């Protein structure tokens, strides 16, 4: 197969993954709009055009991330491994964490939705949080520190700070922790973690490469909570719902005028990653021309995909979620909001690109002992429950902490009952589960419903990503409890059978 045909096949495969991710939402929304909830035609047409851009953007973005972020992360991890220089590893990890995070599409969507924190301020603060905790995660791998003890201390600090934080920051802080670990960040830091873990030679080294995502999810929560102690407490106003374009020409110009802005913003976001790659290329990598240009092409795909994705999301795709959420609160349809949210959650996670990356690494590290299918089922149940609880909060105004505190206490308690690998996988799964569809559509869906009901959007609608990040901690570790019980039963049965068999064999020997 020629290089052109191979690249074309890869692009088509990633576009198909994007279609699988967007299609369930597209079908459900179309059915609702055509037969249940009447909406202006302009909203629907804008949503369909936005969906096409989201599919194309996600496809190109994941192609680029796979061919640039993963190789760069792996090469940097290997280079740092060879240096065995702890300060260098920590400094580079911090810089890379900041650079990769600010270009994460999920974070950019969330930052543009938060009305009371400047977008650039939120991006920088979250990026610094990820950078610091990526450095901490690398130190944990090198030192062999148990993940559960770090998580206990860090989440204890998180909930202590919650007592002093304004409600308008609380949900945003936890949501920031969920959106930072998406299709840009996850392949990069997982590859980097595996590379750095090779410094250690013990049997737990490779399994300790899990846990990076979980620690990188805590960093933004803490950084935004600390920001709230110094930042202004004004709540601002949530962006208005989508404008129904009167003509197709008006719709076309709306998308056309938005493109230059996202070309500029995306270029600024990706520039630090490009500079770091070029620096390592000239100082350490010394890749041949073909490999070098392949990664540059991957960064180009990432750039174009991110521009298309953000344009589709912000102009048409996400905004319909707000309009639809508001419309469904009227009359008897209100009673179907919770099951509808759960249905959307079940389908959203089934084709999430970052989840597929994690599944492949789980099966590889566990040599197939941990089934990717069981992990997928656990995540589907978790996200369906998370969406249902989030809509329950919108309808009732219940505090996010009523669910997060018991949830994290239970999940941290389960960490003492399951194998370490399951704990690391569970917390990593929580980080990767909140993908583009959660930030792009479901958050706006909750915002629309909360606004229509007269609720506090910042405290009631925000927090959905936090729930999506928390629920897998429980369901995946429950799978670990089941696996531990089954393993003990097998060992007991083998031991009993083996002892009897050995006695009979020796007695039969002449």
Residue 456 has pLDDT above 70, yes or no: yes
Residue 506 has pLDDT above 50, yes or no: no
Using left for φ > 0, alpha for ψ between -120 and 50, and beta otherwise, residue 240 falls in beta
In a domain, 328, yes or no: yes
Q: pLDDT band at residue 509, thresholds of 50, 70 and 90?
A: very low
Closest CA to 58 of 469, 314, 358, 353: 353
Mean pLDDT of the chain: 83
Over the stretch 72-123, which tens digit does the pLDDT of each residue have? 887 887 788 777 788 988 998 899 899 888 888 878 888 888 888 888 899 9
Q: What is the pLDDT of residue 505?
A: 44
Range of the domain at 394: 3-229+248-508
Using left for φ > 0, alpha for ψ between -120 and 50, and beta otherwise, residue 368 falls in left
Residue 341 has pLDDT above 60, yes or no: yes
Q: How long is the chain?
A: 510
In a domain, 239, yes or no: no
pTM of the model: 0.80
Q: What is the pLDDT of residue 351?
A: 52
Least confident of 105-114, 180-189, 346-355, 480-489: 346-355
Q: How many structural domains are present in the chain?
A: 1
Q: What is the pLDDT of residue 143?
A: 82
Q: What is the pLDDT of residue 405?
A: 92
Q: Mean pLDDT across the stretch 150-160?
A: 91
Residue 216 has pLDDT above 70, yes or no: yes
Q: pLDDT band at residue 233, thresholds of 50, 70 and 90?
A: low
In a domain, 345, yes or no: yes
Over the stretch 109-124, which tens digit does the pLDDT of each residue have? 888 888 888 888 999 9
In a domain, 243, yes or no: no
In a domain, 236, yes or no: no
Residue 190 has pLDDT above 90, yes or no: no
Residue 499 has pLDDT above 60, yes or no: no
- Rounded CA gap, 382 and 414, in Å? 16
In a domain, 242, yes or no: no
In a domain, 240, yes or no: no
Q: What is the pLDDT of residue 8?
A: 81
In a domain, 392, yes or no: yes
Q: What is the pLDDT of residue 365?
A: 65
Q: Mean pLDDT across the stretch 128-138?
A: 91
Over the stretch 277-318, which tens digit does the pLDDT of each residue have? 999 899 888 888 888 999 999 999 989 988 998 888 888 877
Q: Which two tokens stand for residue 268?
A: 């600024």
Over the stretch 369-422, which tens digit does the pLDDT of each residue have? 777 778 888 888 999 999 999 999 999 999 999 999 999 999 989 988 888 778
Residue 359 has pLDDT above 80, yes or no: no
Q: Which two tokens stand for residue 312?
A: 């589709």
- Rounded CA gap, 233 and 165, in Å? 10
- Rounded CA gap, 483 and 33, in Å? 44
Above pLDDT 70, what percent of the chain?
Answer: 87
Over the stretch 2-50, which tens digit does the pLDDT of each residue have? 667 777 888 888 888 788 778 888 888 899 888 888 888 888 888 999 9
Q: Which two tokens stand for residue 417?
A: 């009952």
Above pLDDT 90, what percent of the chain?
Answer: 24
Q: pLDDT band at residue 240, thresholds of 50, 70 and 90?
A: very low
- Rounded CA gap, 507 and 10, in Å? 62
Closest CA to 259 of 343, 326, 315, 190: 315
């Amino acid at each position: 197969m020629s290089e052109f045909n191979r690249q074309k096949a890869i692009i088509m495969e990633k576009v198909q993954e994007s279609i699988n991710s967007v299609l369930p939402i597209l079908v459900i929304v179309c059915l609702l709009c055509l037969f249940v909830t009447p909406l202006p035609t302009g909203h629907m047409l804008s949503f369909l055009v936005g969906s096409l851009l989201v599919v194309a953007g996600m496809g190109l973005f994941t192609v680029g991330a796979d061919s640039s972020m993963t190789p760069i992360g792996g090469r940097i991890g290997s280079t740092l491994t060879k240096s065995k220089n702890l300060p260098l590893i920590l400094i580079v990890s911090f810089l890379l964490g900041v650079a990769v995070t600010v270009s994460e599409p999920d974070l950019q969507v969330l930052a543009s939705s938060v009305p009371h924190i400047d977008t650039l301020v939120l991006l920088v603060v979250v990026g610094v949080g990820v950078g610091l905790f990526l450095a901490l995660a690398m130190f944990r791998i090198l030192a062999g520190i148990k993940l559960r003890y770090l998580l206990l201390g860090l989440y204890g600090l998180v909930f202590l700070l919650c007592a002093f934080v304004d409600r308008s920051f609380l949900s945003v802080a936890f949501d920031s922790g969920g959106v930072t670990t998406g299709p840009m960040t996850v392949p990069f830091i997982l590859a980097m973690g595996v590379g750095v873990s090779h410094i250690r030679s013990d049997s737990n080294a490779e399994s300790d490469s899990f846990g990076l995502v979980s620690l990188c999810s805590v960093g933004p929560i803490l950084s935004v909570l600390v920001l709230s102690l110094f930042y202004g407490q004004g709540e601002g106003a949530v962006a208005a719902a989508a404008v129904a374009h009167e003509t197709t020409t008006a719709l076309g110009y709306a998308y056309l005028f938005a493109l230059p802005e996202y070309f500029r913003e995306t270029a600024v976001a990706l520039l630090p990653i490009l500079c770091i790659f070029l620096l390592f290329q000239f100082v350490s990598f010394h890749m041949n021309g073909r490999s070098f240009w392949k990664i540059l092409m991957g960064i180009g795909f990432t750039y174009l995909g991110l521009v298309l994705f953000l344009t589709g999301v912000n102009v048409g795709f996400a905004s319909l979620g707000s309009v639809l959420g508001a419309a469904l609160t009227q009359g008897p349809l209100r009673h179907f909001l919770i099951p509808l949210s759960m249905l959307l959650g079940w389908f959203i996670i089934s084709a999430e690109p970052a989840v597929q990356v994690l599944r492949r690494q789980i099966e590889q590290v566990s040599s197939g002992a941990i089934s990717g299918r069981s992990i997928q089922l656990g995540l589907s149940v978790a996200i369906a429950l998370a969406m249902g609880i989030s809509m329950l909060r919108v309808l009732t105004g219940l505090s996010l902490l009523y669910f997060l505190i018991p949830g994290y206490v239970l999940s941290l308690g389960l960490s003492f009952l399951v194998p370490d690998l399951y704990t690391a996988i569970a917390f990593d799964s929580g980080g990767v589960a909140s993908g583009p569809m959660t930030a792009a559509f479901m958050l706006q869906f909750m915002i629309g419903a909360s606004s229509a009901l007269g609720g506090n959007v910042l405290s009631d609608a925000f927090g959905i990503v936090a729930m999506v990040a928390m629920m897998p901690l429980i369901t995946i570790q429950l799978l670990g409890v089941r696996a531990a019980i089954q393993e003990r039963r097998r060992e007991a049965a083998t031991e009993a059978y083996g002892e009897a068999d050995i006695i009979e064999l020796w007695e039969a020997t002449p």
